[in-house]
Amino acid sequence: MGTLKKFFKDTIIYGLATVLPRLMNFILVPLHTDKLDTSSYSDNTTFYIYAAFFNVLLTYGMETAFFRFFSKSDEKGKIFSTVFISLVTSTVLFLLPIIWFNEQLASMVNLDPTYFNLLVGVLSLDALVVAPFAYLRATGRPIKFTAIKLSNIIVYVLLNFFFLWAIPKFGIQFPDYDNNNLVKYIFISNLAASIVTLLLLSPYFFRTKIQFSFSIFKQLTSYGWPIMIAGLAYVINENFDKWLLPNILGKDINGAYSGCYKIAVFMTIFIQAFRLGAEPFFFNHAKEKNAKATYATIMKYFVICGSFMLVGIVAYLNIFKELIVRDASYWVAIEIVPIVLLANLCLGIYFNLAIWYKLTDKTRFGMYISIIGAFITIVFNYFMIEKIGFMASAWATLTAYSCMMVISYLLGKKHYPVPYDILKIGSYLILAIVLSALSYYRFNTNYYMGTVIVLVFLGIVYFSEKNEIKRILNNK
């Protein structure tokens, strides 16, 4: 149990690296939805869809490949150096055609040339810091990792408030300030934050002797390219709806949908925090005798925490919507939130299950599963949006992630069986769904009953798990 205690401790620290920046970013949602109309907010969403897509391409699975080979290699310096050199080289090669064909490429992706250049800048800088950030995680330096992540978001948030709030309110003179194109300054803020991050991580660029191994590079890319394809499929699952909606229902609906989607940010934060702590832990712990039992326990508590968040957010949804998305014109899409929350919980379970193909070096299965999810997302959205509107996109997300979760579990049983407590995990998940549905459809504005529902869930978990929780906490 001592290992589990260390895992939860590290995950909490990594969680701060995710939660605090996301919470700071969270306070920008009211600012953005107040200052941008739904059409402009749709443009903001589109920018970050492209950012997510090209970020996966530019890192081509190297981060996960780094963890896999760094954890088991005796030549850790050579692993880091090879990853870093390959990412720098590929980033430079990415920039060359953009310099020559800038306007044509901007037109091809249907972005304003200014937005496009800012996007390229952010993507390039973020690709250069992947290896140093992975090094910090792999060598167990969560505090340093957290501090740099926080520095990035502080710069981003402060500049957002400066450009979108302070300049108009106090009449500050800023060169060529365009009050009719405020969304541009969100992207400028992102670029500035990326520059600060690059500077803070620059000492790690030459942490080891500069050396490149073609044999290691071949192993890394062989392991990583299916991860890249899976990542691209994940981007499709997350963003295809927001790309298709403005073309079918208009930018205003897409902006409202995207704004309400942000209310699910708490579940996303939880999942990201888990991944930051879990991925290096799973690889480093793989050789331990009780590894599979540990993974099973972690899964159970992941589902418990995620289910609690589902029940809690749905119980107080009206409070969250007024805090996060204050402009009532966005609330036309509020009914997507419970479905999106459950979808993201299924995604988190899938990420937890995915350890089987990463530890067995069968990453191609992750690619196959993600492609299936992307196919479901595309087909469901394409055929159903015109029939049931934006709700089709929420249901498509839930369908895709739940299918990916089930497929991964069934394949994992064959290739890397982990003794998950399916009865308890399934019971907690079903209980959370039932209580959330009861809260949303029967007691939507009754916060007293919402609180009772949350306490019922916590009470059931406590009486079921109290003995094991005590053993974990008391174990040194």
**Domain residues of the chain, as ranges?**
2-474
DSSP conformation class of 389: T
Instruction: Give the pLDDT of the chain (476 residues) as one tens digit per residue.
Output: 455 556 666 666 666 666 666 666 667 877 887 888 777 777 777 787 788 888 888 988 888 888 878 877 777 888 888 999 999 999 999 988 888 888 888 888 777 888 889 989 999 999 999 989 988 878 778 778 888 988 998 899 999 999 999 998 888 888 888 888 888 899 999 999 999 999 999 888 776 677 888 988 998 888 888 888 888 887 888 788 887 888 888 888 888 888 888 887 778 777 877 776 666 677 766 677 788 888 888 899 899 999 999 999 999 988 888 877 777 788 888 899 999 999 999 999 998 898 888 888 888 898 899 899 999 999 999 889 888 988 999 999 999 999 999 999 999 999 889 899 999 999 999 999 999 999 998 887 788 898 999 999 999 998 888 887 777 666 64
> Whole-angstrom Cα distance, residue 63 to residue 80?
10
| Residue 10 contacts residue 142 (beta carbons within 8 Å) | yes
174, 176, 177, 179 alpha-carbon torsion, rounded to 10°: 150
Question: Across the chain, which distance is largest between two alpha carbons, in Å?
Answer: 65
Specify whether the CB–CB gap between 133 and 201 falls below 8 A: yes
- Closest C-alpha to 153, from 115, 122, 195, 190: 190
Residues 6 or more apart whose Cβ sits within 8 Å of residue 267: 306, 309, 310, 313, 341, 344, 345, 348
Comparing C-alpha atoms, which of 87, 113, 345, 377 is closest to residue 234? 377
**Cβ partners under 8 Å of residue 44, min gap 6:** 32, 36, 183, 186
pLDDT, residue 434, reads 95
Least Cα distance to 376 among 403, 394, 353, 351 occurs for 403
Crossing angle between the packed helical segments 265-285 and 291-315, to the nearest 10 degrees: 170
Count Cα neighbours of 146 within 13 Å in the Cβ-side half-sphere. 17
Token pair, residue 369, equals 């599963």
8 Å CB contact between 297 and 419: no
Token pair of 7 as six digits? 């895992």
What gap in Å lies between CA 333 and CA 331, rounded to an integer? 5
pLDDT for 1: 47
CA–CA gap between residue 472 and residue 250 (Å, rounded): 52
Instruction: Find out whether 231 and 369 touch, Cβ atoms under 8 Å.
Output: no
For the chain, how many residues are written?
476
Provide the token pair at 303: 């589902």
User: Which pTM was predicted?
Assistant: 0.73
Of 269, 401, 271, 393, nearest in space to 346 by CA? 401
The DSSP string of 134-202 is: HHHHHTT-HHHHHHHHHHHHHHHHHHHHIIIIIHHHHT---TT--TT-THHHHHHHHHHHHHHHHHHHG
**C-alpha dist (Å) from residue 107 to 44, 84, 98, 115, 180:** 17, 31, 12, 11, 22
